[in-house]
Amino acid sequence: MDAPGSKRIFRWVINGALAVIVIVWSIPTVGLFVSSFRDREEIARTGWWTVFPHREYVTTETYAPEGLDPNGPMTIEGVTATFEEFRQGVPAADGGQILWVGNKRNGRIEIQERQWAYFGNLTLQNYGQVLAGKEVEIRRPDGTTRTQQGDNLTGAFLNSVAVAVPATVIPILIAAFAAYGFAWMNFPGRRTLFVMVVALLVVPLQISLIPILRDYVRLDINGTFLAVWLAHTGFGLPLATYLLYNYISQLPRDILESAFVDGASHFVVFRRLILPLSVPALASFAIFQFLWVWNDYLVALVFIGAKADSEVLTQRLAGLIGSKGDDWHLLTSGAFITMLLPLLVFFALQRFFVRGLLAGSVKG
C-alpha cells in the first residue's frame, strides 16, 4: 500500500477513535440534561433514554382473573402457563404479552401490545423550583398540586460569580507582572526566586488551610468573599506565573528592544506589548483558574462557612444532596445549572487554549 494511502487510513482510524471517545464521554452529560426536564414520577420509573421514540409494551386491556386457579396451569387468551410465568409476562399469539400484576389473591391481568412510545412529559418546573427562593406550586400528573419551598440557587449562582471572577482576574494580573519581571528584567536573585515560586506547585493547599484560617480570624475577614479571593489568588499564583513565564519569555526580543530604544518604560512595554501578545496564555490560565474556583467546595466551605447568604453553588448543591437525595429531578437540574457558565467560558476561550498550553514548548 502506498504511503499516502497508509496515512489516510491512519487518519481515519484516529478520527474515528476520537469520535467514539467524544460520544461516549458526552452520553452522561446528555442524560443529565434530559433528566433535568423530567418530573419525579417518570425519572423514578424509567431511564432518561426513554424520552426518545422506542418500542415497549403498552397495556390495552385489563380485567380481573375471575374463575382462574393461580395454584395450577391457567389458560388466558388461548395461552396456557403457570402463575409464575404470567408474572414474568407470557408472549401472546399476536406478538404482545399477557401479564399478571399483583399477587394471587389481589391481582389483575393486563393484555399488552408492543407500540412505539416516548415520554414527552418534559417540564421546566424543576428549574423553577431549584432557582426560586420562595414557595413554588408543583403540579402532579393526576392533576393535584402541592406547595414546596424553592431552593434559591439563583443567589448561590450570583455568589459563585462574585467569587470566581475576581479570583480569576487578580492572580492573572499579578502573575503577568511577575512573569514579565522574571523573563525580561534583571535583578539579584531572579533565578532563585523563580525556582521558589515554581516549587510551590508541589505544596498541597490542604496543609495551608488552617494557618490561613487563623490569620483570617485575627484580621476579621473570615466568612467574606475577600478571604476566598485572597486564598484562590495565593493558590493559583505559582501555576499562573510558570505558565505565563513560558509564553512571555518566548516573545520576539526585537520588538521589546525597539520599544526600549524609543524610550518606553517597563510598564508601557508591559501594557502596550506584553498583554496584547500574551492573550493565548492569559486565556488558557483563565480557563484553568475559573473552572477550579467555580467547582471548588473545600476552600469555600473553610473560608465562607455555612452562611446562607454567602453560600456558593457547590455548597448549595451539596445541601441539596443531603436534604433531597431521592429527588433526582432536582439534583440533575441543579447540577446542570452549575455547568452552564463554565461551558460558556470554555467555548468562548477555547480557540486560545491549545496555543497557550503549547507556548514555549518548541524553540526554533
Q: What is the pLDDT of residues 69-112, one digit of tens each?
A: 888 888 888 888 888 888 888 888 777 888 888 888 788 888 88
What is the model's pLDDT at position 167? Answer: 94
Answer yes or no: are the C-beta atoms of 51 and 34 closer than 8 Å.
Answer: yes
Torsion angle (degrees, nearest 10) of CA 117, 120, 121, 127: 140
What is the C-alpha separation between 96 and 248, in angstroms, rounded? 70
C-alpha cell at 7: 496515512
What is the C-alpha separation between 29 and 40, in angstroms, rounded? 19
Give the burial class of 25: count Cβ atoms within 10 A of its Cβ; 0-12 exposed, 13-18 middle, 19 or more buried. Answer: exposed
- Residue 56, C-beta contacts closer than 8 angstroms, at least 6 positions apart: 50, 114, 115, 117
Answer yes or no: are the C-beta atoms of 175 and 241 closer than 8 Å.
Answer: yes
Pairing label, strands 74-76, 145-149: unpaired
All domains in the chain, ordered by first residue: 53-117 (no CATH), 153-357 (1.10.3720.10)
What is the C-alpha separation between 96 and 112, in angstroms, rounded? 6
Helix (H, G, I), strand (E, B) or coil at 101: strand
Answer yes or no: are the C-beta atoms of 310 and 159 closer than 8 Å.
Answer: yes
Other C-beta atoms closer than 10 Å to the C-beta of 21 total: 10
Q: Which of 204, 357, 226, 191 lies closest to 304 in space, CA to CA? A: 226
Q: Is the dihedral of CA 192, 195, 200, 203 positive or negative?
A: negative
What is the model's pLDDT at position 136? Answer: 54
Residue given cell 396456557 in the structure block: 80
Answer yes or no: are the C-beta atoms of 151 and 130 closer than 8 Å.
Answer: yes
- Residue 8, C-beta contacts closer than 8 angstroms, at least 6 positions apart: none
Residue given cell 518566548 in the structure block: 250
What is the C-alpha separation between 277 and 183, in angstroms, rounded? 14
Instruction: Flag residues of the chain having pLDDT under 50.
Output: 360-364
- Residue 290, C-beta contacts closer than 8 angstroms, at least 6 positions apart: 164, 168, 342, 345
> Rounded to the nearest 5°, which phi and psi values hold at 249?
-70, -15
> Rounded to the nearest 5°, which phi and psi values hold at 251?
-70, 150
∠ Cα 276 279 265 (to 5°):
35
- Cα distances (Å, whole numbers) of residue 300 to 96, 166, 194, 297, 334: 56, 14, 29, 5, 18
- Read off the DSSP letter of residue 304: T
What is the C-alpha separation between 42 and 58, in angstroms, rounded? 15
Q: Which of 342, 335, 313, 350 lies closest to 29 in space, CA to CA? A: 335
Pinpoint the alpha helices (H) of the chain. 3-35, 40-45, 83-88, 125-131, 153-184, 190-199, 209-219, 225-248, 253-261, 266-269, 275-277, 279-294, 298-303, 313-323, 328-357
Helix (H, G, I), strand (E, B) or coil at 250: coil
Maximal CA-CA distance, the chain? 106
Whole-prediction pTM value? Answer: 0.73
C-alpha cell at 251: 516573545
